Amino acid sequence: MRSASSSSLSHTSSTTNTLQVEKGLAIFALFGGCLFYMKYVKKLDLIGNLMLLISWANIQFDVFVLFQDISMFPSLISILNVIFAFHILGSRAGFIHATLHFIGFLTFIVMKSLNLLTFDQPPIALTPTQLLLSFILVFMILVYLIYHYHQAFQMAKRSLDIHIEELSRAKEMAEEMNRLKTNFLSNMSHEIRTPINGILGISQVIELESKEDTIREYVKLQRKAGDDYSILSTAS
């Protein structure tokens, strides 16, 4: 009788472990397919939320049914899920999924403290195969997030380099335009000042030799305007 009971318990444990391995492989394949779909199709919202909801449901199944406790791997995967949600889906989706994971853990803690949970079978321990699959899944998600953060950093760096180069070219162009403007004004002032000096000299002669007050008044105004221009051109 004891042998039969032991054999039945061993068979049940073996079946549970087999189901766990199959579940882990299925989730691993699903996550891998979703990641590649997101990379090449560029539709993030639907697939991203679906991935996170599947992962959340798997965490609840592990905590409430299999492990019957909040162990390290569900906690770690929950943290990665929240980081993934904030990074890929934005702040709003990140807060929603963070709240969802928190409520799941809080519900388990409250129900367990109030003795509302009854377990038909003892909690199971992860087999080496399950540990390996969990590690690969967590590592894959972590590498994916690091890769995207690196890509975002490189894109921002390239954009910054382009802006710096454009600003440098604009600065050089502005300096060149300012130099050309200065040269132009200098040349124009010289070209205009030469005949004006001649005109002012003749005006001075007219002012000295003319006997008519009206003409002398006009010549004074002309000389004043010429002197004002000379002062302005010298200052510029």
Residue 38: both structure tokens together = 């997101």
Tens digits of residue pLDDT in 43-84: 667 777 888 888 898 888 888 887 888 887 788 888 888 888
pLDDT at 2: 41
Task: Specify the higher pLDDT residue, 133 or 60.
Answer: 60
| Complete DSSP assignment for 16-81 | HHHHHHHHHHHHHHHHHHHHHHHHHH---HHHHHHHHHHHHHHHHHIIIIISSS--HHHHHHHHHH
Q: Check: CB of residue 68 under 8 Å from CB of residue 119.
A: yes
Q: Check: CB of residue 136 under 8 Å from CB of residue 80.
A: no
- Going from the C-alpha of 104 to that of each of 39, 49, 86, 216, the distances in angstroms are 30, 17, 19, 103
State whether the Cα torsion 209-210-215-220 is positive or negative: positive
Tens digits of residue pLDDT in 4-31: 444 544 555 555 566 666 666 776 677 6
Tens digits of residue pLDDT in 98-117: 999 999 999 999 998 888 88
pLDDT at 146: 78
Residue pointed to by tokens 């492990």: 67
Residue 107: both structure tokens together = 């519900």
What percent of the chain is predicted at pLDDT more than 70? 66
Q: Check: CB of residue 30 under 8 Å from CB of residue 78.
A: no
Q: Which residues contact 104 (CB under 8 A, 6 or more apart)?
A: 56, 59, 60, 63
**Radius of gyration of the CA atoms of the chain, in A:** 42
pTM of the model: 0.52
